[in-house]
């Protein structure tokens, strides 16, 4: 069997700060298949951005440190390496776009030149060739009057246009994976929808995989094929989007769903916030990270970290409630067909 496009296993990242060492990512595993979209969801500080930055080699070292784990692209290790079989990982095999397009582009360089740069560096294009291709790419991301726009500077673009330009830049070398780190958080809702549609269309045309980092479950529902829910530096539940949304197998996922507003006219249920705050990652908890906030916590939860319990094919949950001997009393928690 072919190895998956991208396989990340047991990734651990730490940061040295004046207050001590923050264990930001504490053993993360996931796989990404070609042409599919994996959404990594979680609240601020759960380690989702750090995870993908580690893949891209964007963790500043020091203070950051990759403590262990591996990430393989078609079976070949990429952590801490710049090239895979002669192709550069950053910018060529994997493209990346960021949260704030306003500050993510160089203010003193034209948009066209910035899009042309990866082509010159990775593909050996001349400046003229690269610029011509950059204009085609701007057309591809549906920027009108691309030739004129390419000669303009970032401050002459709106936020939505800048994010399109960022996408054009990220896909310029036809990457097999596009990482989108909260690509629509800084944009207003209509522009958000357009950017997401654009990403979907580009994925259909090029067959690239997308890793989408977000905290917006609406975006996940619209975009993702697979979902990984992260909490306190670990993935607590992962599966297909239908599995995670309709057969949630972790109390944290349930909590997120209950805290999400719906637009059903006859909805009567109140929004339920998740009480408390995430654990201190200077001294991560011994057991389950969600235990102090979990309404269904048991004594074992504080003492031992839960293993990933498989609840269905390609759907797992790190929760002791999934253990064969755990009580089946939590309303709405999916525990898999084989336990009934």
Partner 1 sequence: MVTVRRRDAAPEPPWVHGVSPAVPPAQISVIEAVFREILRNNTMWQYTLKRLIQGITTVWFIATATFLAMHNVPGDPLSAERGTSEAIRANLAARYGLDKPLAEQYFIYLGNFVKGDFGISFTQQNRQVNDIIREHFPVSATLGVLAVIFAALGGVLWGALTALYRNRLPDTIIMFMVILGISVPSFVFAALGQLTLVNLNALFGISLLPVAGWGTVSHMLLPALVLGMGTMAYLTRLMRSSMLEIIHSDYVRTAKAKGLPAARIFSRHQLRNAILPVITVLGPAIAAITTGGFVVELVFAIPGLGRYFVQAVQQLDYTVIMGTTVFYGAFLVFMVIVVDLLYGWIDPRVRLQ
Which residues of the shown chain bind partner 1 in the complex (CB under 8 A)? 56-58, 82, 88-92, 95-96, 98, 100, 103-109, 117-118, 121-122, 142, 144, 153, 155-156, 158-161, 166, 169-170, 188, 190-191, 194, 197-198
Quick one: which of 257, 235, 252 has its CA closest to 296? 252
142/222 with CB nearer partner 1: 142
Helix (H, G, I), strand (E, B) or coil at 203: helix
User: d(Cα 235, Cα 264) in Å, to the nearest integer?
Assistant: 30
User: Nearest approach, Cβ of 56 to partner 1 (angstroms)?
Assistant: 6
- Report, in Å, the least distance between residue 72 CB and partner 1: 19
Name the minimum Å distance from CB 138 to partner 1.
13
Name the 3-class secondary structure at 125: coil
Q: How many CB atoms lie within 10 A of CB 176?
A: 20
Are 226 and 219 in contact by the 8 Å Cβ rule? The answer is no
In angstroms, the CA 175 to CA 199 distance is 13
Q: In this complex, which beta carbon is closest to partner 1, that of residue 118 or of residue 239?
A: 118
Identify which of residues 193 and 298 has a Cβ nearer to partner 1 in the complex.
193
Least Å from the CB of residue 3 to partner 1? 23
Q: How far is the CB of 157 from partner 1 (least distance, A)?
A: 8
Query: Quick check: helix, strand or coil at residue 70?
Result: strand
Q: How far is CA 140 from CA 136, 137, 332, in A?
A: 6, 5, 44
Asked whether the beta carbons of 22 and 62 are under 8 A apart, the reply is no
- Return the number of the residue (1 or 189) whose C-beta is nearest partner 1: 189
- Closer to partner 1 by CB, 188 or 280: give it: 188
CB of 24 to partner 1, least distance (A): 17
């Amino acid at each position: 069997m072919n190895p998956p496009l991208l396989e990340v296993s047991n990734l651990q990242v730490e940061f040295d700060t004046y207050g001590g060492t923050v264990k930001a990512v504490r053993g993360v595993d996931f796989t990404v298949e070609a042409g599919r979209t994996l959404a990594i969801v979680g609240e601020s500080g759960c380690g989702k951005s750090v995870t993908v930055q580690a893949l891209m080699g964007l963790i500043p070292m020091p203070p950051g440190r990759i403590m262990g784990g591996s990430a393989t692209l078609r079976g070949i290790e990429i952590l801490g390496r710049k090239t895979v079989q002669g192709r550069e990982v950053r910018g060529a095999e994997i493209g990346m776009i960021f949260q704030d397009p306003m500050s993510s582009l160089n203010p003193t360089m034209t948009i066209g030149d910035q899009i042309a740069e990866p082509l010159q560096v990775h593909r050996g294009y001349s400046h003229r060739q690269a610029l011509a291709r950059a204009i085609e790419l701007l057309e591809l991301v549906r920027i009108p009057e691309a030739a004129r726009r390419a000669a303009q500077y970032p401050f002459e673009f709106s936020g939505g246009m800048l994010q399109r330009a960022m996408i054009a830049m990220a896909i310029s070398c036809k990457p097999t994976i596009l990482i989108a780190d909260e690509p629509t958080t800084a944009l207003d809702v209509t522009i958000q929808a357009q950017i997401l549609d654009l990403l979907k269309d580009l994925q259909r045309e090029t067959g690239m995989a997308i890793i989408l980092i977000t905290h917006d479950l609406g975006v996940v529902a619209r975009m993702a094929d697979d979902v990984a829910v992260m909490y306190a530096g670990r993935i607590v539940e992962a599966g297909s989007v239908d599995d995670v949304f309709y057969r949630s197998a972790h109390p944290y996922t349930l909590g997120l769903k209950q805290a999400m507003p719906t637009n059903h006219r006859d909805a009567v249920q109140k929004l339920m916030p998740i009480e408390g705050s995430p654990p201190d990652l200077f001294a991560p908890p011994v057991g389950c990270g969600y235990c102090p906030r979990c309404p269904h916590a048991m004594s074992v939860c504080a003492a031992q970290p839960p293993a990933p319990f498989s609840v269905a094919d390609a759907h797992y949950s790190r929760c002791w409630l999934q253990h064969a001997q755990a009580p089946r009393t939590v309303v709405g928690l999916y525990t898999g067909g084989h336990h009934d």
